[in-house]
Structure 1
Amino acid sequence: MTRTDEENSTGFRYAQGAVAAGGGGADVRVRIWLSGRAFEYVIAAAAVGNLIADWRRQRWCGAIELFSAPTSGVPRIPCERLYLGS
């Protein structure tokens, strides 16, 4: 998954780079902006589509950034299983 640096009108920001492989598949680093504060998490690439769909249904934060970066030391997003459909 590779995206060029851009911000579109929907509030998503994509940073350039390849997604690093994780334990059960690819992981993506996500930054969620809420009330002017940034929260960084790791989420399975398979769950990103559901995260974005959930955000589009009800805009619960200001913006979501997806990018590749080292994922060690970054916590997994809470309730990741909900976004995986498990």
Structure 2
Amino acid sequence: MRTYILHLKGGNMLVTEAEAIQEAERQEKAGTVPRYAWRDYKTGEPITPPGWLVWSTYADGCGVVYRRSDGKMILVTGWQGDFACN
């Protein structure tokens, strides 16, 4: 299980992959529509299903959790420009 260090204005925060997935599940249950898809940098077309934004910082980029076709939730990380917003 991976752990991510987020650099926030008020100090650092550790986020595990499991915590990020739990946050996405919470957003899903609350009715938040998944909007962020990993995109192909050449074509700009989405290459993952839309997912939920679980963090976004200037220093660390963002984390998005999406649900695969088999139902498993996956965390992907990158810079804000790596994701297309639907």
The alignment's TM-score, normalised by the length of structure 1, stands at: 0.33
Q: When you count strand as a share of all residues, which structure comes out higher?
A: 2
